[in-house]
Amino acid sequence: MKRLGSLCSAATLLMLGIGMLSAPGAAKADEMSSELSKDWAIRVGTYIYQSKNTRTQNGEVGFSGSVERTVYRGLKYDVTVGIGYQGWDRVYAVPVTVNGIMHKDNFRYGAGVGYAFNKRLDGTGSNGTVLSLIAGYQFGATKKPLSLDARYYFLGGSSNELDGLSITLGGTF
């Protein structure tokens, strides 16, 4: 029950933060709903655990997916807020992150920080901080481009057994 309370608290804070960052100060209700429907990205791919023990017990490759929203778009960098899932079956991590992504030409690179809700090999939860490093490539310069990202996640509280590399293909809508 305590974990459910902390999950609900984190989700509430995340939604509050997204609302505060995405809504302009003097926006009307219809303008705000129009703003919230823009700048979303879905990323889907594979997750490769760093730990040999985790790969042996849970499989060589897991699923990686995330939903992100760009809350600031600049000439040289963007700021995104997102939630993801890395893992498979009984071992997984659900990171909630804020990412800074620099872009030069079609290349993307950056870092993220946040909090993750994890489940370890022994079946226990190990929630903690998450750091990520991002390197990627954006295909084309259209309004809704596809991108390929490699993100390495460092998940706190899991004794490195959940750390790993996420390789995803993403599209915006």
pLDDT, tens digit, 9 for 90 and up, residues 156-169: 888 888 999 999 99
- Model pTM score: 0.78
CATH architecture assignment, domain 38-172: Beta Barrel (2.40)
DSSP secondary structure code for residue 82 in this structure: E
Domain boundaries along the sequence of the chain:
38-172
Per-residue pLDDT at 7 exceeds 80: no
Pair of tokens at residue 150: 């490699």
Pair of tokens at residue 89: 């079956």
Strand 107-119 to 164-172 pairing: unpaired
Q: What is the pLDDT of residue 5?
A: 47
Exposed, middle or buried: residue 127 (CB in 10 Å: 0-12, 13-18, 19+)?
A: buried
